Structure 1
Amino acid sequence: MSVTVRAPAKINLFLGVGPRRADGFHPLATVYQAVGLYDDVTVADAEEWSVELTEPVAGVPLDADNIAVKAGRALTAHHGLDKRARIVIHKGIPVAGGMAGGSADAAATLVALDRLWGLRTADEDLLALAAELGSDVPFALVGGTAEGSGHGEIVTPLVDRGQWWWVVVPHGEGLSTPKVYAEFDRLSPAATQPSIPERLYGALRDGDTDGLAIALRNDLEDPALSLRPELETTLEHGYRAGATMALLSGSGPTCLFLCGTGDEAREVAAGLHALGHDEVRIAAAPVAGAHVVSYA
Structure 2
Amino acid sequence: MEKIELKAYGKINLGLDVIRKRPDGYHDLDMIMQMVDVYDDIVITKNKTGKIEVKTDTAVLSNGKDNLAYMAAKMLMDEFKIKDGVNIYINKRIPIAGGMAGGSSDCATTLMGINQLFELGLSKEELMERGVKLGADVPYCVLGGTAIARGIGEVLTPLPAPADCHVIIAKPPVSVSTAYVYGHIKPLEITKRPDIEAMAQSIKDGDLKKMASLIYNVMEDVTVGEYPIISEIKQVMLDNGALNSIMSGSGPTVFGLFDDKEKAQQCVKTLEEKGLTQQLYLTKFHNE
Give TM-score, length-normalised by structure 2.
0.92
Supply the AA of the counterpart residue of 2:262: D
Report the counterpart of residue 58 of structure 2 in structure 1: 56
Paired residue secondary structure (1:203): helix
The correspondence of residues 129-168 of structure 1 with structure 2, limited to 5 A, is: 129-168=130-169
Report the counterpart of residue 284 of structure 2 in structure 1: 284
User: 1:207 and 1:264, CA in 2 relative to 1: closer, same or farther beyond 3 A?
Assistant: farther
In 2: Cα distance, 1:20 partner to 1:121 partner: 33
In 2: Cα distance, 1:172 partner to 1:61 partner: 20
Report the counterpart of residue 225 of structure 2 in structure 1: 226
Report the counterpart of residue 256 of structure 1 in structure 2: 255
CA contact (8 A) 2:115 2:122 kept: yes
Paired residue secondary structure (2:34): strand
In 1: Cα distance, 2:12 partner to 2:58 partner: 24
Give TM-score, length-normalised by structure 1.
0.89
Q: Which runs of 5+ in 1 are unaligned?
A: 289-296
Report the counterpart of residue 293 of structure 1 in structure 2: none
CA contact (8 A) 1:165 1:260 kept: yes
Give the superposition deviation at 1:161.
4.4
Paired residue secondary structure (1:168): strand
1:33 aligns with 2:22: no
Paired residue secondary structure (2:108): helix
CA contact (8 A) 1:19 1:191 kept: no
Give the superposition deviation at 1:241.
2.3
In 2: Cα distance, 1:228 partner to 1:161 partner: 30
Report the counterpart of residue 74 of structure 1 in structure 2: 75
Report the counterpart of residue 208 of structure 2 in structure 1: 209
In 1: Cα distance, 2:166 partner to 2:36 partner: 9
RMSD (Å) for aligned C-alpha atoms:
1.9
User: 1:226 and 1:277, CA in 2 relative to 1: closer, same or farther beyond 3 A?
Assistant: closer
Identity %: 30
CA contact (8 A) 2:170 2:280 kept: yes
Identify which of structures 1 and 2 has the higher relative contact order when contacts are C-alpha pairs closer than 8 Å and 6+ apart. 1
Supply the AA of the counterpart residue of 1:42: V
Off by >6 Å, runs of 4+ in structure 1: none
Write the deviation string for residues 10-47 of structure 1: whole angstroms up to 9, x where unpaired.
01111110121110110011110000100111111232
Write the deviation string for residues 177-213 of structure 1: whole angstroms up to 9, x where unpaired.
010111113xx44459x78533212221232222012
Q: Which runs of 5+ in 2 are unaligned?
A: none
CA contact (8 A) 1:31 1:148 kept: yes
User: 1:195 and 1:211, CA in 2 relative to 1: closer, same or farther beyond 3 A?
Assistant: closer
* 146-155 or 27-36, which deviates more: 146-155
Give the superposition deviation at 1:72.
0.6
CA contact (8 A) 1:166 1:256 kept: yes
Write the deviation string for residues 237-264 of structure 1: whole angstroms up to 9, x where unpaired.
2222222211001100111111113333
Give the superposition deviation at 1:267.
2.4
